[in-house]
């Protein structure tokens, strides 16, 4: 089951999920046509969506996490290191190299929320 369904189940709730979509614009289109409520990542809501109303998700719905998977025992090329740094700017490139080389424990700073980096969702 999905993490969303598990979050609802933890609250003894069973959502009526009729439509799913991977594209945020498609979900917003569903909402605009009256098909229901949409759940979107913070980054999918913009100031241009003035016809939509956004509320922060309850704390019981976990944040999504993306993983950068790197091969062991291989030299990390500069472009790959740069990609990881773009995805996780809170991780220092030198620290990442040390961890990958086995010379340091991974003790990363907590990642910032999307909202703190970009925009405030108004209620």
pTM of the entire structure? 0.53
pLDDT digits (tens, 9 = 90+) for 112-123: 776 676 655 555
pLDDT at position 30 is 92
The residues, ordered by sequence, that sit 6+ positions from 115 with a Cβ below 8 Å of its Cβ are 42, 121
pLDDT bin (cut points 50, 70, 90) of residue 29 is very high
- Residue 1 near residue 17, CB atoms below 8 Å: no
Query: Percent of the chain scored above 90 by pLDDT?
Result: 13
């Amino acid at each position: 089951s999905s993490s969303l369904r598990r979050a609802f189940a933890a609250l003894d709730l069973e959502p009526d999920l009729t439509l799913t979509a991977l594209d945020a614009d498609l979900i917003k289109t569903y909402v605009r046509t009256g098909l229901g409520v949409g759940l979107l990542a913070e980054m999918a809501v913009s100031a241009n969506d003035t016809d939509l109303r956004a509320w922060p998700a309850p704390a019981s719905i976990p944040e999504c996490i993306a993983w950068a998977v790197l091969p062991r025992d291989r030299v990390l090329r500069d472009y790959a290191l740069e990609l990881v740094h773009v995805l996780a700017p809170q991780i220092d490139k030198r620290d990442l190299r040390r961890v990958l080389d086995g010379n340091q424990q991974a003790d990363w700073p907590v990642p910032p929320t999307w909202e703190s980096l970009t925009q405030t969702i108004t209620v």
